[in-house]
Structure 1
Amino acid sequence: MGYTNLQQCVEDLEARGELIRIGKSLDPHLEIGAIQRRVFRAGGPALLFTNVKGSRFPMLGNLFGTMERARYIFRDTLPALKALFRAKADPGAALKKPWAFRSAPRVLYGALPKSVKDGPILAHQTCLSELPQLVSWPMDGGAFVTLPQVYSENPAAPGYKNSNLGMYRVQISGNDYEKDREVGLHYQIHRGLGIHHSEAMKKGQPLKVNIFVGGAPAMTLAAVMPLPEGLSELMFAGALAGKRMRMVRNGTGLPMLAEADFCICGTLYGSQQKPEGPFGDHIGYYSLTHDFPVLHVDNVYYREGAIWPFTTVGRPPQEDTVFGTFIHELTEELVPTVFPGVHEVHAVDASGVHPLLLAVGSERYVPYAEERQPQELLTNGMALLGNTQTSLAKYLFIGAREDDSTLSAHDLPSFFRHILERTDMRRDLHFVTKTTIDTLDYSGTGLNAGSKLVWAAAGPAKRRLDSALPGDLRLAEGFTAPRCFAPGIVVVQGPQHTGARGVQDPQLEALADVLGQQLEALDGLPLCVVVDDVDFAAKNWENFVWVSFSRSDPATDIYGAHAETQCKHWGTPGPVIIDARLKSFQAPPLDPDPDVEKRVDALAAPGAPLHGVY
C-alpha cells in the first residue's frame, strides 16, 4: 500500500513502462530542464537521467507529468482520502453509507508521524556543490532545488503538530552565497515558514530548517498542498502515502525524514539576508534579484542509491499544473466548507495561477429584491481573498449560481460571457488598493505590493454582447489593429510602455476619452484589453488570460470611458480598459536558449535516446 520511498516508485513506474532511463551524458545547466519541459508537453513518461554532468547522483524528472500517472502513484489511498473529504463536507454521509468510509481509520492512523532512532537518510554525507546543479532558464542566478520539502517547527510550540512543510525556492549556488555553506531561502510572505521565522526572531533565537529532497512521493505533494494553518502537512503526507512518515533525530534538534533521498540541514539567524535570484518562475517571467533569508548549512545527508527529483517551472502549463489539477480534484468537495456560499473556484493556470481566480458563488441575501445584484458575492469574494492560497489572487471574477445553474468557472469562454453580460460597470468593480500581492508578480507598485480587484456580477443580462467591431470604430493615436477576441471583448495593440511604476498612462486616458465618444456603439463590447502583440494575445484563451492578467495591476492599469469616483468607489459606463502591455519596469518573460533547444531537438532524432518520446 503506497510507496515508502522514491526508489519503490521508480521501480514500479519503470516496470509499467511509465519511466525511461537516459544514459547519455547530459548537462543540468539548461539542457536537462529543457528536455523535461519537452517531454511534459508531449505527455511523456517520467525520466531518469543516470549520467548527469558534474554530479554522481541521477536526476528524476516529469514524475508527476500526467494526471493519469499522478492518480496511479496515489491509487491506494485516493478513494479513502476523497471519502474523508466528503465526510467533512457532508458529515451525514458516513451515517448514510458507512461502508464507503471503511478505510478511513487506516488512513487516519497513517497520518501520525513516527519517531525512529535511525534511517536510510543518515547513511552518507556530501556537500552542496556535489548535488545536481539544475539551472532551468538562461538568466537564472544559479542552481536551484525545484522540488524541495522545507521543514520547520514553531519555536513557540515545537513538534509535528505545529510543523510546516512547504515548497519554497532554494538556491544552492550562485550570487555571493558562500560555496557549500549558504543557501538562499525564498519564502513568500503568506507562507508558514515565515510564521516560524517570525517566532524565532521574537524569541531572539535561531531557527533550524531541514530541506528534504525525494522520499515518498506523498511528501512532495504535501509540500504544495494548501492546508489551513495548524494542520500539519507531515500528517497529510502520511495519509496520502498510506504509511506513517518515519522521522529520525540525530542530535540536531530537528527531525529528518528517514526515507528522504537528501536532507540539507541548516539554520536561519535573525534577519540576515542576501540577494537571491533571478529565477524563471511559474507566472512565465523571471523573478528578479531581491534580498531573502540565508540558510547556513550545517550538514547535507543522503541515502544509499539516492535520486534527485526535479521539475522546471515557467509559463503554464508545466508539471506544476498537474499538482494544481490533482489538488483541485482531491479537495473540490471541501470548497463550500472552507468558503460558505462558494460552490466552485478556479485559479486559472494559464494566467500563471495567482493573477486570475474565477469563482461561482451564491447570491441569496435579498431574495425578495426586484432585481438581484452582488451582495453575498462580495462577502464570498472577501473571504476568498482573505484565506488560504486563494488570498494570492489579484483578479477575482465571481458570478452567481442562481443566474445560471450550469455556470462553471472552468469554462472560460462561457464564464466571461456570463460576467460581461451582467456587469454594471458603475457598480460591480471593487478595488483593494495598497495591499500585498504575490511575491512573484511584478505588475504591482513594488515587491509584494499592488492591488486587487473583485469583479462581481449578478442578476439578469444587461446587454447583448457583440462578436464584431463597429465598422467606424475610432481609436486614439498610437493604438492600432483592434480585434474582437470573443463576444464582448476587444483586443487592441498599443504603443510600447515607457511610464514609471504606479503611475497611470496619459495615452490610455486618451484612448478612454476616444472610446467614451462611442458609448452606444460599444455597449456590446464592455471589455477592451490593450496589448503589445494582438496576434499573440488573441490567438487563444491561454494567451489572452496570460497577457491580460499577468501584466496588469488593477488599480494602476484599469481605465474607463467617462470614469468617475463617487464616495471612493470607481465606476465607468464602459468599456473597461485593461492596460496589459509589458511594462517598462516588469521582469522579462522566459525565453529558452536557442542553442540548447537545437541540442534537445537532436535527442529526438531517429537513433537518439528520446526518439519517439517528443
Structure 2
Amino acid sequence: MARPFQYSPDIQSFMRLLESRGELLRVREPVSRDLEITEVADRLVKKGGPAVLFENVKGSDYPVVMGLMGTRERMALAAGVRDLDELAQKIRALIDLGGGGSKFGLLSNLPKLKDAMNLPPRRVQSAPVQEVVWRGDEVDLSKIPVLKCWPEDGGPFVTLPLVITNDPETGERNMGMYRMQVMSKNTTGMHWQRHKTGTRHLEKAKKLGQRLEVAVAIGGDPALIYAATAPIPPVPGLNEFAVAGYLRGQRYPVVRGLTVDLEVPANAEFILEGYVDPQEDWVVEGPFGDHTGFYTLPDLYPLFHVTCVTMRRNPVYPATIVGRPPMEDAYLIEASERLFLPAAQLIIPEIVDYHMPPAGVAHNLVVVSIKKEFPGQAYKVANGLFGLGQMMFAKVVVVVDENVKVSDMDAVWREVVQKAVPGRDTLTTRGPIDVLDHSSRGWGYGGKLIIDATTKRPEEIGSPKSSREGQAQDFAVDLFFPHPETNLPDFPGVLAQRQTADGYWFVALQKTRPGQARELAETFAAHPAADGVRQLLICDEQTDVNDPGDVWWTVLNNVDPERDVWNLPEGTGGLLAWDGTRKLPEEGFVRPWPPKIVMDEAVKRRVDALWHVWGLPEQWR
C-alpha cells in the first residue's frame, strides 16, 4: 500500500510537513505557558484550525508545539495513511495472513509478511535525543516549558508523555500515555490508574523488592505518540514500537537509555530517565482538567524520580490539552476506532462499524451497527464489546442496524426514538468503569446501559401495545412549558428547556435539593405533553439546551445508568429520563463532585488583546 507522503520519523520533520501544507502557524512574540498557550490552542482545535508553534515561551529556552494531530486530516498524516479508514485496511491486512497452504497462497502473503517484519524495533548506537545530557543536580524540569493548562490544575502537567517500563518478571515492554504533574525540579507524579499496565509492573517490582526503572519520551514519531494511546491487543511481540513501525513501513529506531536499562525512541525530543520506588508513600496529584471536560480531583499516585534528562541539541516541546470536547484527543480516539475495528470484527463478526463520539469522551458512549440475523443479537454484541480490552469501560452502548451511519449522531438518536422502547429495549447492567468517571456508584465500578435501537424481530416486540416502533411521531405544538423562558409550576429551578422535533426534551435545572431531578421527571412523565417524547435529558444549569452535543456531554458524564436513568412512568415503556445533574451527599453520593472546566475570564480577555500581536489570523480567534 503506497504511502501518501514521506517524512523523517520525528516531530520536527512532521512540523515542516505541516508548515509546507499551510497547517502550522508560528507565534514569535512572548507567550506564557501558564494558561495562555492553552487558550490559544483550545480555540484553534475547536474551530478546526492549524497546529501552532510558540517560539518564545516565557521562562524557557525551548519552543512549544500544539495541535499536531488536531484534525482528522492531520491525524491521518501522523499515522501514515491518506484517510483514517485506511488504518482499518492496514490492520485487517496484517491480521489476515490466510491464503491456504498452496504455493500460490503462500506467495500471496509475502507483501503482508514483509510488512509484519517491520514490527520489531531497531537498536541504534547513537541518537539525536542524547545530544545533550543533564545528570544529577543538573536536572531541572522547570527549564522545560511544561504547561499549566487550566485554572484549577494542581500545577504544570506533562500531557504527551510516552512512559516506558519493562515487566520486572518477563521483561515485556510497555509504553503508555499517563499524565505527569511536575512536583519539583526532579520529581513528577505518575498517573498510573488501577487498570493500567504500568500499575501491574509497579506491583511486581514491589513484590520483588526493587525499584521500577522508568523512561519518559517526549516527542518522537507522531505515529509512536498515537500508538502510545491505542488499545493494542495483548499479542506477544505486538507493542507500541511495533505498531509505529508497521504504520511507517520501517523498523522503529530505539537506543538504550544512559542510566536505565530501557530502550527509548532515538528520535524523541526529550527523555526523562529515573525510577519509581514502590516502597515510597504515594503523593497527592491533581486537580487536573481532564479529557472528560471536568476536573479530576486530587488523589494519591506514585512519585517518579528523574535522575537524568537527555535531549536534542535544539528540541521542541510537544504538548496537548484535554478538556471539554471536541479536543485533539477526539482524533486520536477516532484513529483507535479504525485500528480496533478489524480485531473487533474478528471476534464479533456481525459488527459492521462502531463510533465513539466526542460528546462521549471515549468511554461514555459507543455506537455500534450490526448485521442483525436473530432476536437478542444487539445484547449479544454489546456484552461482547464489554469484554474486549478497554471497551470494558464503556458506559452506554447503542446498537443500530447496519444501514445507519454510526458517526451521524442525529441519525443515531432518531433510531433510538423510533426503535428503542424504554424498558423493553433498554438493559441496565454493571461492570468496570473508567476511574476518571466521577458519577459512578463506586471508584472504577458502576452501571452500564445497553440501548437496542435495531429493527425488532417478532420475538422481541411482545405486546403490540408497548410497541410504537417505526411510527411517525407527530409531536404536540403546545409545549409542556408555555414559553421557553417560563419555569415549570412549582419548579423554580428550571432555567431553560427545549423540545426537539424527533422526541427529545432537554432541561437545564439549577439543583438545590436532593430528589429534585426525579420529581421533575415524574411530573413531566405524567403530563399530556410527554406523549410525543421518548427521552427526557435533565442537565445542570451550565448546559446549553440548544446545543445537543453539550447536553449529551453533560448527561453522559453525570449519570450512573443504574442509578440515574429511569423508565417513566414505572413499567409503561413510555419515557426514558436521564438525570444529568450533579449528585448530592443527601442522595447517597459521598465523593466530591468535580466542576466543569472553564477558562479564567481574565485569561480570555488577555488572549483577545494579544491575538493580533501574536500574528494569529482573525478567523481562528
- TM-score (normalizing by structure 1): 0.86
Does the CA contact (< 8 Å) of 1:216 and 1:241 recur in 2? no
Report whether the alignment pairs 1:165 with 2:187. Answer: no
Q: 1:302 aligns with which of 300, 311, 334?
A: 311
* 1:63-142 alignment, distance < 5 Å: 63-75=68-80, 83-87=89-93, 104-124=112-132, 125=134, 126-142=139-155
Does the CA contact (< 8 Å) of 1:492 and 1:530 recur in 2? yes
Q: Give the share of equivalent positions with the same residue, in percent.
A: 30
State how far apart, in whole Å, the 1-side matches of 2:323 and 2:468 are. Answer: 39
Deviation at 1:91, TM superposition (A): 5.4
Q: 1:530 aligns with which of 531, 538, 551?
A: 538
Residue by residue over 1:239-275, the C-alpha shift from the partner in whole angstroms, topping out at 9 and shown as x without a partner, is 2233322222235222222221111112122263111
Report whether the alignment pairs 1:152 with 2:165. Answer: yes
Report whether the alignment pairs 1:450 with 2:450. Answer: no
Does the CA contact (< 8 Å) of 1:39 and 1:613 recur in 2? no
Look up the match of 2:607: 600
Amino acid at match of 1:134: L
Look up the match of 1:573: 573
Amino acid at match of 1:484: Q
Deviation at 1:286, TM superposition (A): 0.8
Q: 1:546 aligns with which of 549, 553, 561?
A: 553
Look up the match of 2:298: 289
Amino acid at match of 1:226: P
State how far apart, in whole Å, the 2-side matches of 1:426 and 1:242 are. Answer: 50
State how far apart, in whole Å, the 1-side matches of 2:572 and 2:283 are. Answer: 45
Look up the match of 1:416: 413
Deviation at 1:599, TM superposition (A): 2.2
State how far apart, in whole Å, the 2-side matches of 1:77 and 1:112 are. Answer: 24
* 1:27-42 alignment, distance < 5 Å: 27-42=32-47
* 1:186-265 alignment, distance < 5 Å: 186-230=191-235, 231-249=238-256, 250-265=258-273
Look up the match of 1:567: none
Please, which moves more after superposition, 421-430 or 203-212? 421-430
The 1:578–1:74 alpha-carbon spacing in structure 2 relative to 1, beyond 3 Å, is: closer
Q: 1:514 aligns with which of 517, 523, 527?
A: 523
The 1:292–1:471 alpha-carbon spacing in structure 2 relative to 1, beyond 3 Å, is: same
State how far apart, in whole Å, the 2-side matches of 1:240 and 1:497 are. Answer: 52
State how far apart, in whole Å, the 2-side matches of 1:559 and 1:127 are. Answer: 53
Look up the match of 2:595: 588
State how far apart, in whole Å, the 2-side matches of 1:91 and 1:420 are. Answer: 42
Deviation at 1:560, TM superposition (A): 3.0
Structure 1: 5+ residue runs without aligned partners? 174-178, 366-371, 500-504, 564-570
State how far apart, in whole Å, the 2-side matches of 1:145 and 1:69 are. Answer: 22
* 1:483-494 alignment, distance < 5 Å: 483-494=498-509
Deviation at 1:192, TM superposition (A): 2.2
Deviation at 1:213, TM superposition (A): 0.2
State how far apart, in whole Å, the 2-side matches of 1:77 and 1:492 are. Answer: 42
Please, which moves more after superposition, 472-481 or 1-10? 472-481
The 1:512–1:130 alpha-carbon spacing in structure 2 relative to 1, beyond 3 Å, is: closer
| RMSD over aligned Cα atoms | 3.0
Deviation at 1:315, TM superposition (A): 0.7
The 1:105–1:467 alpha-carbon spacing in structure 2 relative to 1, beyond 3 Å, is: same
SS of residue in 2 equivalent to 1:137: coil
Deviation at 1:157, TM superposition (A): 1.1
Amino acid at match of 1:128: L
State how far apart, in whole Å, the 1-side matches of 2:112 and 2:606 are. Answer: 50
Does the CA contact (< 8 Å) of 1:346 and 1:357 recur in 2? yes
Does the CA contact (< 8 Å) of 2:122 and 2:251 recur in 1? yes
State how far apart, in whole Å, the 2-side matches of 1:538 and 1:136 are. Answer: 27
State how far apart, in whole Å, the 1-side matches of 2:82 and 2:212 are. Answer: 34
State how far apart, in whole Å, the 2-side matches of 1:572 and 1:299 are. Answer: 65
The 1:264–1:242 alpha-carbon spacing in structure 2 relative to 1, beyond 3 Å, is: same
The 1:315–1:513 alpha-carbon spacing in structure 2 relative to 1, beyond 3 Å, is: closer
State how far apart, in whole Å, the 2-side matches of 1:97 and 1:411 are. Answer: 40
Residue by residue over 1:153-208, the C-alpha shift from the partner in whole angstroms, topping out at 9 and shown as x without a partner, is 112211xxx311111111113xxxxx223211113333222232233233333221
Does the CA contact (< 8 Å) of 1:114 and 1:247 recur in 2? yes
Residue by residue over 1:378-423, the C-alpha shift from the partner in whole angstroms, topping out at 9 and shown as x without a partner, is 1211121222232221111223x3xxx4222212122122122222
State how far apart, in whole Å, the 2-side matches of 1:345 and 1:110 are. Answer: 29
State the aligned residue count.
577
State how far apart, in whole Å, the 1-side matches of 2:105 and 2:80 are. Answer: 22
Residue by residue over 1:477-530, the C-alpha shift from the partner in whole angstroms, topping out at 9 and shown as x without a partner, is 42645531341212234341544xxxxx2x344345434545x86453222112
Does the CA contact (< 8 Å) of 2:535 and 2:575 recur in 1? yes
The 1:122–1:529 alpha-carbon spacing in structure 2 relative to 1, beyond 3 Å, is: same
The 1:572–1:384 alpha-carbon spacing in structure 2 relative to 1, beyond 3 Å, is: farther
State how far apart, in whole Å, the 1-side matches of 2:22 and 2:418 are. Answer: 49
- TM-score (normalizing by structure 2): 0.85
State how far apart, in whole Å, the 2-side matches of 1:244 and 1:207 are. Answer: 27
Does the CA contact (< 8 Å) of 1:147 and 1:167 recur in 2? yes
Deviation at 1:123, TM superposition (A): 2.2
Residue by residue over 1:53-95, the C-alpha shift from the partner in whole angstroms, topping out at 9 and shown as x without a partner, is 1111111111112222333344479898654423257656899
State how far apart, in whole Å, the 1-side matches of 2:327 and 2:158 are. Answer: 16
Amino acid at match of 1:396: V
Structure 2: 5+ residue runs without aligned partners? 1-5, 457-466, 482-487, 585-591
Residue by residue over 1:320-351, the C-alpha shift from the partner in whole angstroms, topping out at 9 and shown as x without a partner, is 12212233345544431243322222112123
Report whether the alignment pairs 1:268 with 2:276. Answer: yes
